[in-house]
């Protein structure tokens, strides 16, 4: 009963509207001030800022510095989510995270290490079979700097997206619509749309939105089936962390000092679709076997309990 955990707080519609505006405002507006200030202090920073070109802004600040300030906006956003939930909704962070009696860190770490292992394996298989597509990019000091920033801040970035999308938005929409399928579909589409400004979309075309929306759908499914955010938090952190540390390219959102640089001509190929249509379903089977998931139809498309029914069962 993950969605119904929202009943443990104040669920007035106006609270979700104000909360949404506050979170987005802090994340996108207030959180951008440090980045804008850093750009303004650099020669050429103002013109790069006005252009909105991520590549130019990264070049002005340096890739690692730009990454830090970009991730910092999500730290502001995560703090905003927690403050809105705690003080506006009077809901505990635990009930936003999970329906279990406490947060299951073992689930987070299992999901993290499972997907990190698979991601690393896929990368090195591709490097082995297509070495001409990669250039060894390791430089000790820049890589260590990247690693420190990434390990410290990427889990905060991905947690913000999970707490906002699969947590706050999913619970709020579920309570509003009294069903599970609408928040699942809506948050998956919204998750995809939030990536539409990524450089990858410009290079590969809108077909890559299948990957982003499919990933959002996968994260939504494991949240509803497992009745908590733990698996989604672990998966998302592993996905972005391995992407930042292992392989970069000039046309990606994480154009940083990674271990390898992808120098191939960017095309939308099967490798973008295999995760959504092959790997993610396999992961769902693994998770379902490990955690004993049943009653898929009801958990993904069924009705959300009324408040009085929930508290009767919860007690």
Higher-confidence position of 256 and 6? 6
Assess whether pLDDT exceeds 70 at residue 170: yes
Name the nearest CA neighbour of 58 among 196, 255, 251.
Answer: 255
Alpha-carbon torsion angle 211, 247, 199, 219, nearest 10: 30
Assess whether pLDDT exceeds 90 at residue 56: no
- The confidence score (pLDDT) of residue 315 equals 67
Higher-confidence position of 5 and 314? 5
Say if CB 4 and CB 91 are below 8 A apart.
Answer: no
Domain range list for the chain? 3-314
How high is the mean pLDDT of the chain? 93
Average pLDDT of the residues in 262-266: 86
Assess whether pLDDT exceeds 90 at residue 58: no
pLDDT in tens, 88-147: 999 999 999 999 999 999 999 999 999 999 999 999 999 999 999 999 999 999 999 999
């Amino acid at each position: 009963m993950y969605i119904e955990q929202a009943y443990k707080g104040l669920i007035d519609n106006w609270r979700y509207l104000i909360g949404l505006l506050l979170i987005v405002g802090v994340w996108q507006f207030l959180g951008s001030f440090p980045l804008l200030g850093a750009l303004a202090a650099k020669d050429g920073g103002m013109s790069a800022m006005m252009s909105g070109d991520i590549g130019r802004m990264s070049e002005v600040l340096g890739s690692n510095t730009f990454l830090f300030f970009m991730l910092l906006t999500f730290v502001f956003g995560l703090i905003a989510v927690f403050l809105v939930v705690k003080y506006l909704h009077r809901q505990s962070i635990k009930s936003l995270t999970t329906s279990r009696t406490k947060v299951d860190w073992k689930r987070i770490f299992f999901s993290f290490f499972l997907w990190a292992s698979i991601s690393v394996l896929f990368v090195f298989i591709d490097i082995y079979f297509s070495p001409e597509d990669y250039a060894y990019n390791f430089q000790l000091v820049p890589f260590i700097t990247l690693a420190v920033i990434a390990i410290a801040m990427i889990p905060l970035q991905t947690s913000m997206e999970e707490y906002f999308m699969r947590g706050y938005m999913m619970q709020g929409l579920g309570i509003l619509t009294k069903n599970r399928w609408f928040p699942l579909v809506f948050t998956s589409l919204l998750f995809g749309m939030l990536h539409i400004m990524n450089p990858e979309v410009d290079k590969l075309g809108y077909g890559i939105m299948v990957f982003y929306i499919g990933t959002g759908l996968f994260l939504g499914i494991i949240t509803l089936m497992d009745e908590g955010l733990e698996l989604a938090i672990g998966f998302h952190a592993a996905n972005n962390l391995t992407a930042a540390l292992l392989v970069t390219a000039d046309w990606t959102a994480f154009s940083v000092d990674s271990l390898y640089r992808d120098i191939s001509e960017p095309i939308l190929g099967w490798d973008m679709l295999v995760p959504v249509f092959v790997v993610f379903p396999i992961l769902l089977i693994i998770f379902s076997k490990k955690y004993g998931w049943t009653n898929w139809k009801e958990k993904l498309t069924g009705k959300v309990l009324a408040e009085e029914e929930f508290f009767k069962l919860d007690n």
